[in-house]
Amino acid sequence: MSRVCAICGKGPSVGNVVVRKGSPKYKGGIGLHTTGITKRRFLPNLQTVRAADAKGNVKRICVCTRCIKNGKVTKA
C-alpha cells in the first residue's frame, strides 16, 4: 500500500532530526552545537474508508483525514 491519499495525492515529506549538545547562551553557556543530522519522514495521516464513487459502487480507499474532514469523501 502506497502512502498517498487517493483524493488529494498527499504523500510523505522529508525533514531532518537535529541533535544538539551544550547549554544555550541565554542560560550562560557557550552555545548549542549540532552533533548530528539524520533524515526522517513525515507520513500523512491516512485512513482506510469505505467510500462510494461516482457510479455508486462501494470501494475501500486510503484517504487523508483532511479530505474526510472537508467532506470530499462520501462514506458508504
% of residues, the chain, pLDDT over 90? 87
Query: In sequence order, which residues have a C-beta less than 8 Å from that of residue 72 and are 6 or more positions away?
Result: 7, 8, 63
- For residue 75, the model assigns a pLDDT of 87
Q: Are 60 and 3 in contact (CB under 8 A)?
A: no
What global pTM score does this model have? Answer: 0.74
Q: How far is CA 1 from CA 9, 17, 50, 56, in A?
A: 14, 26, 16, 24
> Domains of the chain: which residue ranges?
13-69
**Average confidence (pLDDT) over 1-28:** 94
- pLDDT at position 25, please? 95
Low-confidence winner among 21-25, 54-58, 64-68 (lowest mean pLDDT): 54-58
Q: Using the predicted structure, report yes or no on whether residue 56 has a pLDDT greater than 90.
A: no
Looking at every residue in the chain, the average pLDDT score rounds to 94
